[in-house]
């Protein structure tokens, strides 16, 4: 048993209001420079929809993630020899139009315009070519849009083979914030020909060495979540770095810190590295979720604590793992689920699936509907969070409904039903964390880094690795 520590994140989708505050904060901190105009390390999508970049979930097109071939785990992009043939030309490479061509407006024409018969217009101008352009797509083009031809192209709807017609009475939508998942089995790391992408030993954050990157761009299609980008100015790959300078000081990511809905939870997970390959090689995609739960270890187990100490995990990290909110949501209560587990990357950013109190076929005065009567179809949520396994999503939603039922009974004095799967105390703790938790309860991150990382930071000599305006 080789124990590693992983900084993980859980997002409660019931609390996301789609304000994009997280996206703007991340944009201003990490990608506000030339060559990164089109990048959003953090973006919020409206589901159903094609997403950002377009159709990022269509792995038949992008060949992202892993697959089982003859019982062995292999990159979808092919074997080493097949990828070697694509070294100088990769046909599954996303283009700028798949993201969007970033633009600004010609505000100077408004300021310097002379007296005219008609009001001057600030026309859109490309940030890439500096020429005038016509706006046809953007990172939030489908914001709050639950209908339309582009929405019907959602690959999850197509996988459901017409179960949802998206007629007016069937319309539904929900927000999906996305960042790099800092996976336990990252396809981008395996696909990089130069070895520039690596997973940090002490906290599991996946980073790109700007010195080692040679711009081969194999990491971009290999990532099934399309969270690795190419900087056209520096010819380097870039991605979400989980705000690791903040983590090293015991602070959460900037998207977590600025989240208006307080829907993000961050903490430490302990996992058995020796079982990662076995979990990713689970034959049934719908059971990968259970395989990941099996490799997540109980931080209160004396045997786990002893093994972790032998691996050099500091005491403050073990203490943080024992008080980790993400451990409770993922392993203890089993209400958080991974996004597209069928990609076999074992993502470490998980989601509490959304409830939808407005029902499809039931009366409007029903306070708590059944799981299968939700307006957001269970089958659609299973495509996102259960690899098609509706059982794991139904179990999560039922616990959330039971939590609301317990709190309602507590307020009204009604008798609490006996059918509950957990003790009443558990549901009260669940409510406290999901609904009214304070900052320190939602984020428990140990400060400090290992000696190896300190040596690496000294080598960087105070730079962040990116070409920031005016220096680092």
3-state SS string for the chain:
CCEEEEEEEEEEHHHCCCCCHHHHHHHHHHCCCCCCCCCCCCEEEEECCCCCCCCCCCHHHHCCCEEEECCEEEECCCCHHHHHHCCCCCCCCCCHHHHCCCEEECCHHHHHCCCCCCCCCCCEEECCCCCECCCCCCCCCCCCCCCCCCHHHCHHHHHCCCCCCCCHHHCCCEEEEECCCCCCCCHHHHHCCCCCEEECCCCCCEEECCCCCCCCCCHHHHCCCCCEEEECCCCEEEECCCCHHHHCCCCCCHHHHHCCCCCEEEEEEEEEHHHHHHHHCCCCHHHHHHHHHHHECCCCCHHHHHHHHHCCCCHHHHHHHHCCHHHHHHHHCCCCEECCHHHCCCCCEEEECCCCCCECCCCCCCCCCCHHHECCCHHHHHHHHCCCCHHHHHHHHHHHHHHHHHHHHHHHCCCCCCCCCCCHHHHHHHHHHHHCCCHHHHECCCCCCCHHHHHHHHHHCCCCCCCCCCCC
pLDDT of residue 414: 86
- 300 located within any domain: yes
Above 80 in pLDDT, residue 268?
yes
CB-CB contact of 73 with 281 (8 Å) = yes
Above 60 in pLDDT, residue 20?
yes
Looking up residue 147, the CATH number of its domain turns out to be 3.30.70.20
For 160, the domain range is 1-100+137-457
pLDDT of residue 357: 62
- Kindly report, residue by residue over 5-14, the tens digit of the pLDDT: 999 999 999 9
pLDDT mean across residues, the chain? 89
- Kindly report, residue by residue over 444-465, the tens digit of the pLDDT: 999 875 545 555 545 544 455 5
Above 80 in pLDDT, residue 130?
yes
Measuring CA to CA, how many Å separate 333 from each of 40, 130, 173, 443, 452?
Answer: 32, 52, 26, 17, 35
- 410 located within any domain: yes
Instruction: Give me the mean pLDDT over the 83-112 stretch.
Output: 90
Provide the pLDDT confidence category of residue 114 given band limits of 50, 70 and 90: confident
- Kindly report, residue by residue over 37-58, the tens digit of the pLDDT: 999 999 999 999 999 999 999 9
Instruction: Give me the mean pLDDT over the 388-416 stretch.
Output: 91
- 465 located within any domain: no
- 123 located within any domain: no
- 462 located within any domain: no
pLDDT of residue 186: 97
Q: Poorest-confidence range of 60-74, 137-151, 211-225, 450-464? A: 450-464
pLDDT of residue 368: 67
- 426 located within any domain: yes
- 270 located within any domain: yes
CB-CB contact of 326 with 351 (8 Å) = no
Provide the pLDDT confidence category of residue 470 given band limits of 50, 70 and 90: low
Above 60 in pLDDT, residue 415?
yes
Percent of the chain with pLDDT over 90: 71
- 254 located within any domain: yes
Above 90 in pLDDT, residue 469?
no
Within 13 A of 330's CA, how many CA atoms are on the CB side? Answer: 35
Torsion of CA 304, 305, 310, 311, to 10 degrees: 70
pLDDT of residue 360: 46
Above 80 in pLDDT, residue 466?
no
Percent of the chain with pLDDT over 70: 91
> How far apart are the C-alpha atoms of 382 and 376, rounded to whole Å?
11
- Kindly report, residue by residue over 279-323, the tens digit of the pLDDT: 999 999 999 999 999 999 999 999 999 999 999 999 999 999 999
- Please tell me the total count of domains within the chain: 1
- Kindly report, residue by residue over 433-444, the tens digit of the pLDDT: 999 999 999 999
pLDDT of residue 211: 94
pLDDT of residue 160: 80
């Amino acid at each position: 048993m080789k124990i590693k520590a992983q900084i993980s994140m859980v997002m409660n989708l019931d609390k996301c209001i789609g304000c994009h505050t997280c996206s703007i904060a991340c944009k201003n901190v990490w990608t506000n420079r030339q060559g990164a105009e089109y990048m959003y390390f953090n973006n919020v999508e409206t589901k159903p929809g094609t997403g950002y970049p377009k159709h990022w979930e269509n792995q038949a097109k992008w060949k992202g993630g892993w697959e089982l071939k003859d019982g062995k785990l292999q990159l979808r992009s092919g074997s080493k020899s097949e990828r070697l043939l694509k070294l100088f030309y990769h046909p599954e490479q996303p283009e700028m139009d798949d993201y969007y061509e970033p633009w600004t407006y010609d505000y100077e024409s408004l300021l310097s315009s002379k007296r005219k018969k008609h009001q001057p217009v600030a026309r859109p101008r490309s940030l890439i070519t500096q020429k005038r352009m016509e706006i046809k797509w953007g990172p939030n083009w489908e914001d709050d849009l639950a209908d339309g031809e582009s929405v019907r192209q959602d690959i999850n709807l197509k996988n459901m083979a017409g179960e949802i017609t998206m007629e007016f009475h069937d319309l539904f939508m929900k927000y999906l914030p996305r960042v790099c998942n800092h996976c336990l089995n990252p396809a981008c790391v395996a696909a990089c020909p130069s070895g520039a992408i690596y997973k940090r030993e002490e906290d599991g954050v996946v980073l790109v060495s700007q010195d080692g990157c040679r711009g081969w761009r194999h990491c971009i299609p290999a990532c099934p979540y399309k969270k690795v980008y190419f900087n056209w100015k520096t010819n380097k790959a870039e991605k979400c770095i989980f705000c690791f300078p903040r983590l090293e000081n015991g602070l959460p990511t900037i998207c977590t810190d600025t989240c208006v809905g307080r829907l993000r939870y961050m903490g430490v997970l302990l996992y058995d590295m020796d079982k990662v390959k076995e979990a990713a090689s689970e034959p049934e995609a719908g059971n990968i979720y259970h395989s990941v739960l099996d490799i997540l270890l109980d931080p209160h187990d004396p045997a786990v604590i002893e093994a972790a100490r032998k691996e050099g995990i500091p005491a403050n990290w073990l203490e943080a793992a024992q008080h980790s909110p993400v451990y409770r949501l993922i392993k203890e209560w089993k209400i958080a689920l991974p996004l597209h587990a069928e990609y076999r990357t074992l993502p470490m950013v998980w989601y509490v699936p959304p409830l939808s109190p407005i029902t499809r076929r039931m009366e409007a005065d029903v306070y708590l509907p059944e799981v299968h009567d939700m307006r957001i179809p269970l089958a659609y949520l299973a495509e996102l969070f259960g690899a098609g396994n509706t059982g794991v999503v139904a179990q999560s939603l039922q616990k959330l409904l039971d939590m609301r039922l317990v709190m309602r009974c507590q307020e009204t004095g009604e008798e609490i039903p006996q059918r509950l799967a957990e003790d009443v105390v558990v549901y009260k703790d669940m409510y406290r964390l999901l609904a009214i938790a304070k900052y320190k309860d939602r984020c428990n991150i140990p400060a400090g880094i290992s000696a190896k990382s300190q040596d690496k930071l000294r080598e960087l000599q105070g730079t962040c690795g990116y070409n920031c305006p005016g220096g680092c």
